[in-house]
Amino acid sequence: MSKIAFVGLGNMGSPMAKKLVDVGHKVYGYDLVSEAVKKHHDAGGIVAGSPLDAVKQAEVVISMLPSGSHVERLYLGRDGLLSAMCAGQLIIESSTIEPDIARSVASEAGDKGIDFIDAPVSGGSAGASEGTLTFMVGGRNKDLDRARPFLESMGRLIFHAGEVGAGQLAKICNNMLLAVVMVGTSEALKLGIDNGLDPTVLSEIMKQSSGGNWVLERYNPVPGVMVDSPASHGYQGGFTVGLMSKDLGLALTTAAITKTAAPVASLADSLYRLHGQKAGTHLDFSSIYKFLSE
Ligand code: NAD
């Protein structure tokens, strides 16, 4: 069994770290929030006093932080982790971040003989708890081969998208589509409800018809249609409006670089930002249904 440092024990990191603990790894967890640390301890993980404390012990370092700036601050600069890490360690960077930040960290890590893959995920906090995440990996074959047993403990599907940064690009494209699908699904459900249809019946009809999609299968935005969805729990937990806005920002920045037209994603970005300003960015992103309903 291996020694793993896990930095960032939030909605995703906490259940991912637990999956690694459950198969017998020693997982040194670190988070800024004390409740997250306590949860890790209660799940059988080892509490590290600082990120440095965690990585000192570890062969593998996994990070699951909110954004690229958090990842830059963790690894780079004079006080960054890379300055204290050793050749032969492996970094699995699973946060959704700018592909260029993944490439910068990989390049500085490579200079020290530290291996790196970017491995953002899809599947949400439910997928993390079930161990059924999809990993989208960027990096060298040999580094992915090394990471594979750890990824397999946390997920079901592992796709190799290309060189370092390619995992992030695939994830950004996926979440751009998810943002749009959530808005479209919410609009269609609202239209049905306003015209007297039962949302559960309508959801089932569309799920089995040409409008069927992942939101209808797993993440219905109307409260009460799915017992376990964030919508049925006051839009708490899950994937926040703030994180979706961040990912749409990544998508639109990427599109601007290649001059790729993304008008529908642009509109979705404005809707999520307006919703975030009005209701706060902490709600699950399916609460866009609520925004469209008001
Ligand atoms: P979260 O906000 O719930 O968790 C992030 C955690 O990182 C928090 O507990 C925070 O305290 C901690 N943190 C921040 N800075 C830190 C630091 N310097 N050192 C240690 N801990 C620090 O976010 P999340 O929902 O777990 O998402 C994490 C990443 O995964 C994001 O990049 C997000 O886009 C991506 N993602 C999330 C989901 C989802 O459904 N929530 C799905 C796929 C991908």
Structure tokens at 121: 């995920």
With residue 122 as reference, give the H or E element that holds it.
strand 121-122
Q: Tell me whether residue 171 is one of the annotated catalytic residues.
A: yes
Count of H helices and E strands in the chain? 13, 9
ipTM metric: 0.99
Q: Report the C-alpha gap between 152 and 108 in whole angstroms.
A: 27
Question: Ligand 1: distance of its center to the CA of 14 in Å?
Answer: 9
What number does the ligand 1 atom closest to the CA of 124 have?
40
Question: Ligand 1: distance of its center to the CA of 188 in Å?
Answer: 31
CB of 284 shorter than 6 A to ligand 1: no
Best mutation site among 11, 118, 241 for ligand 1 pocket (most ligand atoms within 8 Å of CB) = 11
Active-site choice (171, 207, 259, 278): 171
Closest CA to 150 of 115, 184, 126: 115
Question: Ligand 1: distance of its center to the CA of 279 in Å?
Answer: 20
Q: Report the C-alpha gap between 180 and 259 in whole angstroms.
A: 20
Ligand 1 atom 13, closest CA: 8
Question: Ligand 1: distance of its center to the CA of 63 in Å?
Answer: 9
What number does the ligand 1 atom closest to the CA of 97 have?
32
CB of 30 shorter than 6 A to ligand 1: yes
Q: Give me the half-sphere count of Cα atoms (radius 13 Å) on the Cβ side of residue 2.
A: 18
Ligand 1 atom 1, closest CA: 10
Q: Helices 99-111 & 166-194, crossing angle to 10 degrees?
A: 150
Q: What is the pLDDT along the chain (294 residues), one digit of tens a residue?
A: 999 999 999 999 999 999 999 999 999 999 999 999 999 999 999 999 999 999 998 999 999 999 999 999 999 988 899 999 999 999 999 999 999 999 999 999 999 999 999 999 999 888 999 999 999 999 999 999 999 999 999 999 999 999 999 999 999 999 999 999 999 999 999 999 999 999 999 999 999 999 999 999 999 999 999 999 999 999 998 899 999 999 999 999 999 999 999 999 999 999 999 999 999 999 999 999 999 998
Q: Could you tell me the pTM of the whole model?
A: 0.95
Its sign, for the CA torsion 156, 142, 58, 8, is negative
Ligand 1 atom 44, closest CA: 121
Q: Report the C-alpha gap between 289 and 182 in whole angstroms.
A: 8
With residue 6 as reference, give the H or E element that holds it.
strand 3-7
Best mutation site among 9, 12, 182, 241 for ligand 1 pocket (most ligand atoms within 8 Å of CB) = 12
Q: Report the C-alpha gap between 139 and 141 in whole angstroms.
A: 7
Question: Ligand 1: distance of its center to the CA of 66 in Å?
Answer: 4
